[in-house]
Chain A
């Protein structure tokens, strides 16, 4: 293998003390050191050390889970940028929407990226779920991860719903009014849950603040934890659920 100047520079970097203190491993030249590199990294250890080639093929998963995760990252980044322009207050919230449109550079793009990204994430998550379901991904040993996935789907929907109120326009107001009225129709706890969500009996400033905190802090943190568990469980449960014929084909080739 020809060693380019980049490789040389990288190799020199790997010899430095700082690098060694962070990664604690030498260059990943053998399967063992490669495995150690994965195990020793907080982010990479969620990933399997080895994957089957079949599971990397597009037709195996259509990368729907990855797409969902990428959209989650996109929404986090655009969401944080939007937070710089947004006050969860009445009526300033709506005026901030107007400002994003009228004076913030690329504000419309930013907002639309967040909005379209959210729509896309809901679609991707559902598609992912259907795909996994038809592949039988809920069967042992994947039962627990299926449940985690369902929770993630609900979190996605709830993130969408809480984000819907934040523009504070008529659509938002009435969507949340209708939605929370549906909650209150629930027996026994309905009214209390509604009161808890809205911080009152109608969609007002308190509701906006609660939805803002849910949308920007609580739900994303919970979702991030569940995503971590979800990824980690994939490798603990023996990798992705592949279609039987793929699996068979894989076994044959390995044999």
Chain B
């Protein structure tokens, strides 16, 4: 072949090249075409079309820029392209629910979208520009959008303390702590308290084996013959702190044998003064006297009793201590007396205050409890239990550890297994593939996983040791929210610096006040400097509010300022010395920076001022709508009959200026009084004085009166 011939190309080859070229171009064209028809471009076109139907088209289109729109927050390592499709997210005019998604505006929240992006709260895949990739679990993305129902969980990932905007999350955290989940599980920010379940080292002295059997079998619900659930001395509307474990009769027999054999500290029964016994023993109304004393001391502030009115039986009283309707059928009477005199000698971290009992009161109250708070049928369905055999006791001890009892209950000399249940501190951030679903028949996502684990642990793991919890749907969602908020250590996501830590209890009372504070367990109900219960008023600034003498009188005889409340301060029978210690301490330490007590109280008010104040109080501002003076007025605010002895002048002034600055969340409305009006009202309030000691507040309302 010559060189010239070689350059010739056959027709067939030409045709082949032509076809191949066309095919090649066609294949190459697929990619630009797909690029042109991307989902987000379609949504942008839809948005423009939608904006043109709106009255504020011009404004909407001025803010619109075609192309990928992203929120880039390098600090948080967030790249959110959600706003590419969710174009109207910051347009106030598109907030209405008639606006179709994805264009609707976000409700106003403290964190603006442009500063925080979307995925920090909503999860999902921020960089994605496809609907499925952004919202769902896909092959290469396992954190789908968090259902809006549980969105408060995201608040909790950073706000480790409770904030008022997240009631569901707060409730969930409260439940996790109340249900003693921390006994077995490690959780983010849910601390293990000193006492989960009672210390059982000495339980054999306190209750009988039959009662233990009954409790283990049915801590929750006892059903009467007709199948109705009744309040039976155990049940409350809420979950009891001890959940129902799946135990066989044999296991319960063994456990009750073991527990009833625990009598680590023998106690001596208390000997009453024989004169007191002699004077009271024969009285036919002994139980009634005891009941009266029981009510006067406001035991029901912490303990509840079942009250039947009509067909309805319900518990009335507080839930700090156990419910007591049938307590006499539970505890040994001698133990009861020892307990009442000094709860901490039985249980060093008991929350019950150590009252100053007179023999007379103690005898009356214990007689009342033993006679009235009892139910002879309580243990009727407990089988005959023989004297415990050593084998039973041994088996019971083994079961105590195997079933996880030791995670909540302490027994001296028995060391429980550490970390009995799985660590939940990063559960909320787990990928679906990290969860063990077993053969469970529910959707594979983290919400159904958490809920199945709580409501039916066996559905996920047939060997689960977790007890059964019965929660209302709302509570279940609350717990789910709290667990979802535990996303573990965010050091990798750049969110670490955003964490608002949970306030730590920092208040420790020392010295003479410290002793009184511990003895009467003030912190169980009252809050001091951010630490303590929320049942009763916060006392952090009490020294600015109340006068010393009034505080002493109140401690000695806590008559109520708010007669509609069921929960009242118990009468501790304090000594003068103790009451003075408290008043002095509050006066020294519990001062608000806003109230100048020393300066304000020297002020003298002219009688005309008080008269003008009375006028303002009664006519202009009608304070009597909420406050009572003497015998007339409303019940929303505190009774002011003795306010002149009670309140400091400077407190009243500051309070009238801005109540919420002194007590955050106070319901008193903030009015714009002139300073002259404030002076006048203060002058008037200071004239309100009751002479003499008021009578002890005697009321049966605590037990029989209305709802909480």
Nearest-CB residue, chain A, relative to B127: A98
Q: A31-B3, A98-B127, A169-B140 are in contact. Are A103 and B81 (CB under 8 A)?
A: yes
User: Complex Cα distance A175/B94, Å?
Assistant: 49
**B1 in contact with A103 (CB, 8 Å):** no
**B31 in contact with A102 (CB, 8 Å):** no
Picked from A31, A99, A105, A169, the residue with its CB within 8 Å of the CB of B127 is A99
| Contacting residues of chain B (54-94) with chain A, CB-CB under 8 angstroms | 68, 79, 81
Picked from B3, B32, B133, the residue with its CB within 8 Å of the CB of A102 is B133
**Nearest Cβ on chain A to B433's Cβ, whole angstroms:** 10
| Contacting residues of chain B (96-133) with chain A, CB-CB under 8 angstroms | 125, 127-130, 133
Nearest-CB residue, chain B, relative to A109: B31
User: Complex Cα distance A108/B32, Å?
Assistant: 11
- Chain A binding surface SS class: helix
Nearest-CB residue, chain A, relative to B68: A103
| A157 sits at the interface (CB 8 A) | no
Q: What chain A residues lie within 8 Å of B31 (beta carbons)? A: 106, 108-109
| A53 sits at the interface (CB 8 A) | yes
Nearest-CB residue, chain B, relative to A113: B31
Nearest-CB residue, chain B, relative to A103: B68
Q: What chain A residues lie within 8 Å of B79 (beta carbons)? A: 95
User: Complex Cα distance A106/B6, Å?
Assistant: 40
**B1 in contact with A53 (CB, 8 Å):** yes
Q: What chain A residues lie within 8 Å of B128 (beta carbons)? A: 98, 102
| Contacting residues of chain B (6-33) with chain A, CB-CB under 8 angstroms | 6, 30-32
| B35 sits at the interface (CB 8 A) | yes
**Nearest Cβ on chain B to A211's Cβ, whole angstroms:** 20
Residue among A53, A102, A109, A169 with the highest chain B CB neighbour number at 10 A? A102
User: Complex Cα distance A34/B7, Å?
Assistant: 14
User: Complex Cα distance A8/B32, Å?
Assistant: 39
User: Complex Cα distance A34/B2, Å?
Assistant: 14
User: Complex Cα distance A10/B133, Å?
Assistant: 55
User: Complex Cα distance A53/B6, Å?
Assistant: 9
**B140 in contact with A106 (CB, 8 Å):** no
- Mask, A170-184, CB within 8 Å of B = 1, is 000000000000000
Nearest-CB residue, chain A, relative to B140: A169
Q: A53-B1, A95-B79, A169-B140 are in contact. Are A102 and B35 (CB under 8 A)?
A: no
Q: A98-B128, A169-B140 are in contact. Are A106 and B1 (CB under 8 A)?
A: no
Q: What chain B residues lie within 8 Å of A34 (beta carbons)? A: 3
**A102 in contact with B127 (CB, 8 Å):** yes
The number of residues on chain A lying at the interface, defined by a beta carbon within 8 Å of a beta carbon of chain B, is 13
Q: What is the total of A-B residue contacts with beta carbons within 8 Å?
A: 31
**Nearest Cβ on chain A to B69's Cβ, whole angstroms:** 11
**A95 in contact with B127 (CB, 8 Å):** yes
**A103 in contact with B129 (CB, 8 Å):** yes
Give the size range of B's interface with the partner.
Answer: 10 to 19
Picked from A53, A102, A106, the residue with its CB within 8 Å of the CB of B81 is A102
| Contacting residues of chain B (24-47) with chain A, CB-CB under 8 angstroms | 30-32, 34-35
**B140 in contact with A102 (CB, 8 Å):** no
- Mask, A98-126, CB within 8 Å of B = 1, is 11001101101100000000000000000
Picked from B35, B133, B140, the residue with its CB within 8 Å of the CB of A105 is B35
Q: What chain B residues lie within 8 Å of A31 (beta carbons)? A: 3
User: Complex Cα distance A135/B140, Å?
Assistant: 46
User: Complex Cα distance A105/B1, Å?
Assistant: 49
User: Complex Cα distance A99/B129, Å?
Assistant: 9
User: Complex Cα distance A105/B129, Å?
Assistant: 12
User: Complex Cα distance A106/B28, Å?
Assistant: 10
| Contacting residues of chain A (59-117) with chain B, CB-CB under 8 angstroms | 95, 98-99, 102-103, 105-106, 108-109
User: Complex Cα distance A169/B142, Å?
Assistant: 13
Picked from A103, A106, A169, the residue with its CB within 8 Å of the CB of B32 is A106
User: Complex Cα distance A202/B79, Å?
Assistant: 29
User: Complex Cα distance A231/B57, Å?
Assistant: 66
- Mask, A14-50, CB within 8 Å of B = 1, is 0000000000000000010010000000000000000
User: Complex Cα distance A32/B35, Å?
Assistant: 52
Q: What chain B residues lie within 8 Å of A106 (beta carbons)? A: 31-32, 35
Q: What chain B residues lie within 8 Å of A99 (beta carbons)? A: 127
Picked from A95, A102, A105, A109, the residue with its CB within 8 Å of the CB of B130 is A102
Nearest-CB residue, chain A, relative to B79: A95
Q: What chain A residues lie within 8 Å of B130 (beta carbons)? A: 102
User: Complex Cα distance A102/B79, Å?
Assistant: 12
User: Complex Cα distance A95/B81, Å?
Assistant: 13
- Mask, A124-137, CB within 8 Å of B = 1, is 00000000000000
**Nearest Cβ on chain B to A59's Cβ, whole angstroms:** 15
Q: What chain A residues lie within 8 Å of B6 (beta carbons)? A: 53
User: Complex Cα distance A103/B32, Å?
Assistant: 13
User: Complex Cα distance A95/B80, Å?
Assistant: 12
**Nearest Cβ on chain B to A107's Cβ, whole angstroms:** 9
Q: What chain B residues lie within 8 Å of A53 (beta carbons)? A: 1, 6
Q: What chain B residues lie within 8 Å of A169 (beta carbons)? A: 140
User: Complex Cα distance A248/B127, Å?
Assistant: 64
User: Complex Cα distance A53/B3, Å?
Assistant: 11
Nearest-CB residue, chain B, relative to A95: B127
**Nearest Cβ on chain B to A29's Cβ, whole angstroms:** 10
Q: What chain A residues lie within 8 Å of B32 (beta carbons)? A: 106
**Nearest Cβ on chain B to A246's Cβ, whole angstroms:** 15
User: Complex Cα distance A230/B551, Å?
Assistant: 102
**A102 in contact with B129 (CB, 8 Å):** yes
Q: What chain A residues lie within 8 Å of B35 (beta carbons)? A: 105-106, 109
Nearest-CB residue, chain A, relative to B70: A103
User: Complex Cα distance A99/B32, Å?
Assistant: 17
Beyond A102-B81, A102-B129, A103-B81: 16 further Cβ-contacts under 8 Å?
A31-B3, A53-B1, A53-B6, A95-B127, A98-B127, A98-B128, A102-B130, A103-B127, A103-B129, A106-B32, A108-B31, A108-B34, A109-B30, A109-B34, A109-B35, A169-B140
**Can you name 21 A-B pairs with beta carbons within 8 Å?**
A31-B3, A53-B1, A53-B6, A95-B79, A98-B125, A99-B127, A102-B127, A102-B128, A102-B129, A102-B133, A103-B68, A103-B81, A103-B127, A105-B35, A106-B31, A106-B35, A108-B34, A109-B30, A109-B31, A109-B34, A109-B35
Of all A-B residue pairs in the complex, the 9 with the closest CB atoms, nearest first, are A109-B31, A102-B129, A106-B31, A98-B127, A103-B68, A106-B35, A102-B128, A105-B35, A102-B127
